Structure 1
Amino acid sequence: MALLTYKPNVENSLDSVFRKLFDDLSEGVVDSKPNSFSPRTDIFETEKEFIMELAVPGMEKKDFKIDLDDDLLLISGERKREEKEGVKYYRNEQLFGVFEKSFKVTELIDKENIKASYEAGILRIALPKIEKKETKKVIDIK
């Protein structure tokens, strides 16, 4: 039995534009590292910036590291489980361990002014757009 995957043509869609802007380098890769997870990430756009929000509840600011190396934005962190003496789990769906996500950012981002914040379990990274300067020039005809 063959497994078929439907991939619609998204070249002209908004999804295609976002994929080109933020190429998630870990997309489609199953992380086989023990004690690791991949937080869900939303990426959206406002008039002045792109926003990335990672769902990482139960962590603190000190648990994250964000690096920008040329065009590579690397977000990593670790969520540790507090061991509880005398506790027997019957169901455990919370994610613990380390994570690392990397995104390729383009020339549309003002890399000098990227900001991050963490509140209510959401790591929010604001990537401001480079302001487009209209270059209008009158060309004399000779």
Structure 2
Amino acid sequence: MAMFFDPFRELDRMSTMTEGRRGPRFVPMDLYREGDHYMLNADVPGVDPGSIDIDVDGSVLTIRAVRTLSTAENAEWLTQERPSGSFVRQLSLGDGIDADSISASYHNGVLSVMIPVSQRMKPRKVAITAGAPETIAVTTGKPAAAKK
């Protein structure tokens, strides 16, 4: 009895396990602070930059992208590990973000989003004045007694 070995059989079984997954897929990302801004780098290889949408709604930053795979109509897939379709990632922004100044660029399949820290949240120095402390008048709301 001869055994037939098909090297693509296991790959085919594995790809069918994920075929039923519908809806937006996860976008892997790195996020770090560098000086007075945060940098978000998201992997979106093979995505047309024109399909990427970034919006800020309140305190939520949302990244959406679409990857389409082009193949001939009569192509017979042996394996399909590069997912296509919609991708989404949401990030909750804190209070100290300057949402109006967020900017983004796309290079070599990586979407880079620069998220600046707002001016009021940046560390600052407090000036110290030298000399005698000034007298501060405290009022209690009662009229002061007249001096004789």
Q: Which runs of 5 or more structure 1 residues have no equivalent in the other structure?
A: 1-31
Larger Rg: 2
Q: TM-score, normalised by structure 1?
A: 0.67
Q: TM-score, normalised by structure 2?
A: 0.65
Q: In the alignment, which residue of structure 1 is the partner of 2:140?
A: none
Q: Which runs of 5 or more structure 2 residues have no equivalent in the other structure?
A: 1-19, 136-148
Deviation of residue 110 (structure 1)?
1.8
For 1:134 and 1:60, the matched residues in 2 are separated by 45
Q: In the alignment, which residue of structure 1 is the partner of 2:133?
A: 140
For 1:71 and 1:137, the matched residues in 2 are separated by 36
Deviation of residue 140 (structure 1)?
2.9
Which of residues 100, 121, 126 in structure 1 aligns to 2:109? 121
Kindly indicate whether structure 1 or structure 2 has the higher relative contact order, using CA contacts under 8 Å at least 6 residues apart.
Answer: 1
Q: Please list the CA deviations of residues 11-60 of structure 1 after superposition, one character each: whole Å capped at 9, or x if unmatched.
A: xxxxxxxxxxxxxxxxxxxxx96153112111112123211111011112
The secondary structure found in structure 2 opposite 1:34 is: coil
Q: In the alignment, which residue of structure 1 is the partner of 2:39?
A: 51
Q: In the alignment, which residue of structure 2 is the partner of 1:37?
A: 25
Runs of 4+ more than 4 Å apart: none
Q: In the alignment, which residue of structure 1 is the partner of 2:78?
A: 90
